[in-house]
Amino acid sequence: MRNIILITILILFSISLLSAQNCVSEDSVYKFTFNNRNYEFITVAKTWDDAQECAKARGGYLADIESEEENLAFTNYLLDSLRLNHSIDLKKDNDTIIWLGGESKLIYEGTENLYTWYWKNPLTMQQEKSLANHFYSFNQFDTQKNKVTFPNNIYLNWGQELSSHKYPWFGDKQLETKIALALDNIYLNGTNQNTAIIGQWVNLNPEEELYFLIDYGCTNEIINKIDTVICSEMFRLGDSIITETGFYKQTLNSYTDCDSVVELTIDFASINNEMTIQSDRLLSKELQADSYQWYRCDLNLPIQDANTFFLTIEETGSYRLELEKNGCDFVTECYDFCIPTTFKIDTVKCTNESITINGQDYEKKGFYTQKLKQEGFDCDSTLEIDIKDVAINLSVKQQSGKLVSSESAGEYQWYNCEGDVLIADATQKEYTPSENGDYKVEITKQGCIDYSECISFSTSTNSVKDIQDSESIKLDLDNNLILFDNKNYDQIELLDINSKSIYKSDKYAPSISIEYLNTGVFFLKVVIGNEVEMFKFMVVE
């Protein structure tokens, strides 16, 4: 890919002025250029004849207007450029009409008024009517219809009325008038009737004193020498296509009667666009470029801080180099690099379930590998997979009249194995059954669910001591008391044979009454710190 720089050749020219330029001071002269012609705007008010003589003395002539583009260029310069660049506001200063180089004269005893641009066709009273076709423009004044006609093939921009700005027509006699350019709306004297708008032409008495435009035209041959560097592989000069470095000469017609000669010394920019390709690097053979920038073609993004003649490739992708030399931009083709990469995944699954990775199922824990195709590139990457089962401790212990799960990090739900019935609100790590039976716990951990074996639970298990075996707790059935001999406790609780709480207290007392107990088997739960003791006793008649 190459960026083609289009070069517009501006042909500059110079004018040799005549020595007699003292008709105006230089601080009243404002120079500008349009379409390969040089102009001057003079801010000294003169009659049309004096302005024409001054223009001749300076080597030019009062300007004509031959196209809509030229007319627009004049108005833009006079109304905008002068104000912005030189602080001259012609509207504000009421200098809104300026002399051009057009004139009209009466011929054939005043029956016809002819118009022309003076520098092309000066008119005389003695000219024959047959010469009218040679005039740059002409009109026939129709006294009955009060309108003016002009040839259709000539650019004209008249106002609505061919009247004088200060001097209207006098009866049936017409004055010889000159042409001026309006820079503001012009109205007929003493009326609101619009005579011309901005950019239109009006007839004026030549004795009026106005600012004026001087046209310097151009010589038959203007030579401009240009040395340039061309960034593309070819260059068009006129009708010729140039593809080799060298000296060229071309004659151009850039404006009416303005032939210009361009002498070109052309040097086609050269660059070494080759690349050295290594296993993990790209190296440009152009070592004298002014700047380098590497890009990812597949992502269409510049690579940050990649601004040297080489690039170290770190990942699979497509790469190109954009470089600039001698003001020309060049872009290399894209180069694909495929770098095998190893990725690692550590994951877990439920013990009795499988896991799917990239469409492949794994039922057992272990270490596995997969080969992965890199989309758009001809090389594989390796995926290393380490699969572990979610570890759930399913053992359950019975201690201190409770069932306790050995799993410390899960969610719990206890079941009665008889009928596999869920026990409401039994969702803690510990569960105290209210009756003998077989129980299990459901444990949820990391999204996996598993169950313990069913554990037989009995309130009369070996973990419950007979109260008669305690050295510090005495059962006094004669007085219906349980006595605590030097045994301080944090909490005591009486339970019936079904583990239903009958009495519970967090306050220490040396004894508690059991006279309200019916006959049967009961349990005494004693809590001291983190330890719990269960004692069994019987009440008889």
Residue of 39 and 219 predicted with greater confidence: 39
Q: Residue 485: pLDDT band by 50, 70, 90 thresholds?
A: confident
pLDDT for the residue numbered 249: 72
Angle at 311 between CA 306 and CA 316, to 5 degrees: 105
**pLDDT (0 to 100) of residue 209:** 93
More confident position, 327 or 78: 78
54/48 Cα distance (integer angstroms): 10
C-alpha–C-alpha distance, residues 63 and 69, integer Å: 14
| pLDDT band per the 50, 70, 90 thresholds, residue 103 | confident
Highest mean pLDDT pick, 49-53, 91-95, 99-103, 338-342:
49-53
Of 512, 508, 413, 418, the C-alpha closest to 457 is 418
Contacts of 278 (CB under 8 A, 6+ apart): none
Asked whether 423 and 416 are in contact (CB, 8 A), the reply is yes
* Average of per-residue pLDDT values in the chain: 78
Q: For residues 34 and 70, is the Cβ–Cβ distance under 8 A?
A: yes
Q: What is the pLDDT of residue 8?
A: 29
Question: Is 190 in a helix, a strand, or coil?
Answer: coil
Indicate the pTM of the whole model: 0.39
